[in-house]
Amino acid sequence: MKVSERKALKQRITDLATEQFGDLLTKIRFSGPFEEEDLDVDLILRRRIPLKELGTKLWNINEPLFEEGYNVLIGHEFDERPKKKKAKRKAES
């Protein structure tokens, strides 16, 4: 994939992810490819949401990319747990 195409793909993913998750989205981490995919993406979410809602939103990002011919691996992470651990560590110290 050419640099310009990769850049456009990243922007497309950012737009789709923002549209789906809005303020829940704290960060998007791009990496790869590691195998045969075009790009790897981790969506870092501010807090936990119901599984059905999460799955639907991920699908709404995956499906248009598939239709556009991209092979993108999109995963999610919640950033609430590390914050809790940090807060706990602070309280303990």
Residues of this chain that interact with other proteins (CB under 8 A) are 31-32, 34-37, 40-42, 51-56, 58-59, 61-63, 66, 71, 73-78, 80-82
Task: For residue 30, count CB atoms less than 10 angstroms from its CB and return exposed for 0-12, middle for 13-18, buried for 19 or more.
Answer: middle
**Dihedral sign from CA coordinates of 22, 27, 30, 36:** negative
CA atoms within a 13 Å half-sphere pointing along the CA-CB vector of 34: 5
Which helix (H) or strand (E) is 45 found in, with range?
strand 39-45
Shortest CB 78 distance to other proteins, Å: 6
Compare residues 6 and 49 and give the one whose CB is closer to other proteins. 49
Compare residues 23 and 35 and give the one whose CB is closer to other proteins. 35
Shortest CB 61 distance to other proteins, Å: 8
Compare residues 59 and 91 and give the one whose CB is closer to other proteins. 59
Please state the φ and ψ torsions of residue 3, each to the nearest 5 degrees. Answer: -55, -45
Shortest CB 29 distance to other proteins, Å: 8
